[in-house]
Amino acid sequence: MVLSILRPFFLGLYHVFKRTFTVKHPYETLKPPERHRGRLMLNMDRCIGCSSCVKICPNKALNLVEFNGRKLPQYNAGRCCFCVLCVDICPVLALSMTHEVEYSVYKKEDHIYPPDRFSQPPEPVKGKIVTVKTLDKKFGVKHG
């Protein structure tokens, strides 16, 4: 009984000296995997305005608008659920997922991406990019 009380005590004390798990986000960023689904991006040169993405979207996050005399999709990031059905269905591979996840805005209207903004690539991530380097039970997980 004494052991079962003392064991957690020493185990806890031992963990004080382990590596911390935290990634200090604005300064360090976990490297997004290749498939990581962030904000959608449109390739304006490829898009043929077929509207299959608009039809497949379960949340009506995409809709067609007139832009420079062409019909192009407009993106509402506030409605998007990142199911990527639109990327799968696109016959000309005009849509793609970026790794951008920090696109919070103050106003609801700012979530709407007209085709020109929709086709801009995201800004590169600031800060150090880290991954899980070593998994070691003795000293904890090392990011680096």
Partner 1 sequence: MLGLSFVELIELFIKVLIFPGTLFSLLFSIIVIWFERKFLARMHLRIGPLHVGPFNRLGLFQPIADFLKLVQKEIITPSKANNFLYRLMPMLAAFLSALSIAFIPYALDPSGGYWVIFYTPLSLLVILVILTAKPFIMVGAGWAANNKYCTIGALRAAFQLLAYEIPIVLSLVGIVIVARSFDLAKIVEAQSSVWLIILQPIGFIVILIGMMAELLRRPFDIPLAEQEVVFGWPTEYTGVQFALVMVSEYFDLCVTASLITILFLGGWSGPAIPLLHDISPMLSGIFWFLLKMAVITVIIIMGRGVFPRLRIDQLLESGWTILIPFAIIQILITLATAQWWLPLIGG
Partner 2 sequence: MKLSMGPQHPVTSHFRFILDVDGDAVLNFEWDVGYTHRGIEKIAENRIYVQNIPVVERINSYCDSIGTTLGYVEVVEELMDIQIPDRAKYLRVIAAELNRIASHLYAVSLVGISAGFETMLMWTINDRELILDLLVKLSGQRITYTYPTIGGVRWDMPDGFKEEALERLGYLEKRLEDYYRMMAWNRTFQMRFKNVGILKSSDAVGLGIVGPNLRASGVKVDVRKDEPYEVYDRFDFEVPTGKNGDSFDRASMRLKEIEQSIVILRQALKDIPNGPIKCSPKGSKVPPTAPRGEAYSRVESARGEFGYYLVSDGKSKPYRLKISTPSFRNLPALPFLCRNIPLGDIPVIFITFDYIPLDVDR
Q: Give ∠ CA 132-133-139 in degrees, rounded to 5.
A: 100
Give the whole-angstrom CA distance, residue 12 versus residue 6: 10
Q: Are strands 95-97 and 112-113 parallel, antiparallel or unpaired?
A: unpaired
Give the whole-angstrom CA distance, residue 144 versus residue 141: 10
Which partner, partner 2, partner 1, none, binds residue 18 by CB below 5 to 8 Å per kind? Answer: partner 1
Which partner, partner 1, partner 2, none, binds residue 83 by CB below 5 to 8 Å per kind? Answer: partner 2
Among 4, 22, 68, 104, binds partner 1 (CB under 8 A): 22
Give the whole-angstrom CA distance, residue 93 versus residue 83: 16
Which residues within the stretch 69-88 sit at the binding site for partner 2 (CB under 8 A)? 81-85, 88
| 116 contacts partner 2 (rule: CB under 8 A) | no
Q: How far is the CB of 101 from partner 2 (least distance, A)?
A: 10
x/- string (CB under 8 A) for partner 2, residues 4-43? xx-xx--xx--x-----x--------x-xxxxxx------
